[in-house]
């Protein structure tokens, strides 16, 4: 079961964080760009190869200290077919290194289309009557609950059938999230509270041995007060927490998403780790050709930062 594997990886590495692999070509050090542009040309193929090398070097530098990575699909899709190939290759490489791979795609649609999305990322795709084959085969996927239960059920079914996980958007980290998510229902509860209640229901049949469900929630670090409320509602859900680091969330903010057992949340950082070599704190220590060492140092700093607050 996905959630049990995730928790065991977190315990093994004493690290409740996930590294977001959301690459732009601007993030890639010049020596990698120059090498790949010279070999493949200054085109989408060259960009994709540069990003793939960048991702692999990052993974090599962190796989032994973090439990998971989270590639954001948009950053690959914007480079077209070559970018989608790099997404696939990145996920495959991360899993070969023993990392859990969470695809951040925020997918959903009406029932049959949701089935197709779920088959692509979590389940199997039919080739013919005698053959089913995994396409992207990631461990978990972020999903959008806006279409209701018929858009969620295919993903939940594949969580049960294939040992995978999903994280449902509940309270996102962006500034305008309150336009919809904070609206009050006729019951006097906000939309995000109602979605959290549904998450409990949707995940009730995929609860693992540690008491947590493979149907989790996304709650941004930039809304710590809402996280306090949601932690009480989401009794069995693991919370994926974006917004730490570059978006302004702090360790004290993300602490509200954890339970008293020190579990219950997985905190994401993307730019602050990928681009650590550009940060003034690390740029004086690590040169550009040592960008991966800077990323490792920042990942360890983040781990200690969050563990210290959880422990307190």
Query: Residues 221-255: pLDDT tens digits?
Result: 889 999 999 999 999 999 999 988 777 788 999 99
CATH code, 161 = 3.20.20.70
Task: Quote the pLDDT of residue 312.
Answer: 54
Active-site positions?
106
Selected residue with higher pLDDT from 249 and 171: 171
Domain span holding position 57: 2-311
Written in H, E and C, the secondary structure of the chain is CHHHHHHHHHHHHCCCEEEEECCCHHHCCHHHHHHHHHHHCCCHHHHHHHHHHHHHHHHHHHCCCCCEEEEECHHHHCCHHHHHHHHHHHHHHHHHCCCEEEEEEEECCCHHHHHHHHHHHCCCEEEECCEEECCCCCCEEEECCCCCHHHHHHHHHHHHHHCCEEEEEEECCCHHHHHHHCCECCCCCEHHHHHHHHHHHHCCCCECCCCCEEEEEEECCCCHHHHHHHHHHCCCEEEEECCECCCCECHHHHHHHCCCCCCCEEEEECHHHHCHHHCHHHHCCCCHHHHHHHHHHHHHHHHHHHHHHHHC
Number of domains in the chain: 1
**pTM reported for the whole predicted model:** 0.95
pLDDT at residue 241, rounded to an integer = 96
């Amino acid at each position: 079961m996905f959630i049990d594997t995730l928790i065991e990886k977190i315990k093994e590495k004493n690290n409740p964080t996930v590294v977001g692999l959301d690459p732009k070509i601007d993030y890639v050090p010049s020596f990698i760009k120059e090498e790949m542009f010279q070999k493949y040309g200054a085109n989408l193929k060259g960009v994709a190869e540069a990003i793939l090398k960048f991702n692999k070097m990052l993974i090599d530098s962190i796989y032994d200290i973090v439990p998971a990575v989270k590639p954001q699909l948009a950053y690959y899709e914007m480079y077209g077919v070559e970018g989608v190939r790099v997404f696939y290759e990145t996920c495959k490489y991360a899993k070969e290194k023993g990392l859990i791979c969470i695809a951040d795609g925020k997918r959903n649609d009406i029932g049959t289309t949701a089935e197709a999305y779920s088959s692509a990322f979590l389940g199997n795709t039919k080739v013919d009557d005698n053959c089913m084959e995994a396409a992207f085969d990631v461990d978990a996927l972020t999903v959008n609950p806006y279409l209701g239960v018929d858009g969620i059920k295919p993903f939940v079914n594949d969580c049960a059938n294939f040992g995978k996980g999903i994280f449902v958007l509940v309270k996102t980290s962006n500034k305008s999230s309150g336009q919809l998510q904070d609206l009050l229902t006729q019951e006097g509860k906000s939309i995000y509270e109602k979605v959290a209640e549904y998450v409990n229901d949707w995940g009730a049949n995929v609860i693992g041995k540690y008491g947590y469900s493979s149907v989790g929630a996304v709650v941004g670090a930039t809304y710590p007060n809402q996280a306090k409320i949601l932690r009480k509602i989401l009794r069995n859900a693991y919370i994926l927490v974006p917004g730490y680091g570059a978006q302004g969330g702090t360790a004290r903010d993300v602490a509200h998403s954890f339970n008293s057992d020190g579990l219950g949340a997985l905190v994401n950082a993307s730019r602050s780790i990928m681009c650590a070599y550009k940060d003034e704190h690390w740029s004086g220590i690590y040169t550009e050709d040592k960008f991966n060492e800077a990323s490792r140092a920042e990942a360890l700093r983040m781990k200690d930062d969050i563990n210290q607050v959880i422990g307190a």
